[in-house]
């Protein structure tokens, strides 16, 4: 299928055989989406749903790295959902990757209870709307809890997941206590966690967390993930996650820009 890029769209190479169309004026994916798809585990034959999917990058990345059977993405913004569908068609993934426009708060009604083995989410991190001049602007929706909250994501995930199903989320460490509390409130037991540090001597700025529906209380804290060895220079582990040869002294400026988008 021939895909024609519209004004304001660009084509990015995901370095795994697939490409992604993005709206340059909207919120573009960053390293948090890449790390979430790396951290998540989708087993052979399983169905996975990505909430707040945006450009659809996480379902496409999961298709590339796992043996799952079907990958779905739910996105409330029509332009983002339409762009994600174009990326699916561009990569000829219509048989296994599906994008649906809809509200996270109605996800269980849209797909049905206990429909998935895995749910992933890179949700809006920030609470409150102080200083925001346009709460319905695309970047605001991606960053701030204006259309859905952490509790919306977790409560719907609990309904969507089958027994022993898994929720994978990337978020900010300053909300970690809240995240775990809300997960346990809805019967999702935190089982695995990894903190992500921009530099070895800085505070963590991301947390990756896995929760199990109906799991017993016990969590494994994995070794820290360090993003940069030096400014503009990704660590060896980040190079491995991206599937690149490690070349000390060389970074990926494009992705560094996206992290700050």
Q: Which residues of the chain have pLDDT under 50?
A: 130-133, 135-136, 139-141, 144-145, 253-261
Query: How high is the pLDDT of residue 134?
Result: 52
Q: How many CA atoms lie within 13 A of 73 on its CB side?
A: 32
d(CA 205, CA 246): 23
d(CA 64, CA 38): 11
Query: How high is the pLDDT of residue 147?
Result: 66
* Backbone torsion region of residue 128, taken as left when φ is above 0, otherwise alpha when ψ lies between -120 and 50, otherwise beta: left
Query: How high is the pLDDT of residue 25?
Result: 77
Query: How high is the pLDDT of residue 249?
Result: 60
Query: How high is the pLDDT of residue 66?
Result: 96
User: Sign of the C-alpha dihedral, residues 207, 208, 214, 217?
Assistant: negative
Query: How high is the pLDDT of residue 193?
Result: 98
Rg (CA), the chain: 17
DSSP strand pairing (116-121 vs 161-171): parallel
CB 124 within 8 A of CB 141: yes
Nearest to 20 by CA among 70, 66, 73: 73
Query: What is the widest separation between alpha-carbon atoms in the chain?
Result: 50
Question: What's the token pair of residue 94?
Answer: 């219509």
Class of domain 29-53+100-245: alpha beta
pTM for this model (two decimals): 0.89
Q: How many CA atoms lie within 13 A of 11 on its CB side?
A: 11
Query: How high is the pLDDT of residue 137?
Result: 60
Domain boundaries, the chain: 29-53+100-245
Query: How high is the pLDDT of residue 260?
Result: 37
DSSP strand pairing (19-23 vs 116-121): unpaired
Query: How high is the pLDDT of residue 143?
Result: 58
CB 179 within 8 A of CB 209: yes
């Amino acid at each position: 299928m021939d895909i024609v890029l519209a004004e304001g769209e660009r084509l990015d190479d995901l370095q795994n055989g697939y490409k992604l169309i993005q709206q340059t004026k909207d919120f573009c994916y960053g390293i948090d989406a890449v790390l979430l798809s790396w951290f998540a585990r989708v087993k052979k034959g399983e169905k996975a749903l990505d909430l707040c999917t945006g450009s659809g990058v996480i379902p496409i990345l999961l298709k590339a790295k796992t043996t799952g059977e079907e990958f779905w993405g739910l996105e409330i913004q029509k332009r983002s959902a339409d762009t994600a569908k174009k990326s699916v068609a561009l990569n000829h993934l219509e048989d296994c990757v599906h994008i649906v426009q809809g509200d996270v708060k109605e996800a269980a009604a849209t797909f049905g209870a206990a429909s998935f083995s895995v749910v992933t989410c890179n949700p809006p991190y920030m609470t409150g709307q102080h200083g925001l001049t346009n709460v319905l602007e695309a970047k605001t929706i991606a960053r701030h809890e204006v259309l859905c909250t952490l509790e919306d994501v977790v409560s719907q995930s609990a309904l969507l997941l089958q027994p022993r199903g898994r929720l994978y989320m990337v978020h900010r460490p300053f909300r970690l206590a809240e995240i775990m509390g809300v997960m346990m409130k809805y019967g999702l037991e935190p089982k695995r966690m990894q903190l992500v540090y921009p530099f070895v001597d800085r505070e963590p700025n991301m947390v990756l967390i896995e929760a199990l529906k109906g799991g017993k209380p016990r969590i494994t804290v994995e070794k820290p993930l360090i993003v940069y060895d030096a400014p503009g220079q990704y660590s060896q582990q980040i190079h491995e996650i991206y599937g690149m040869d490690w070349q000390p002294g060389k970074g990926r400026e494009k992705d560094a820009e996206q992290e700050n988008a």
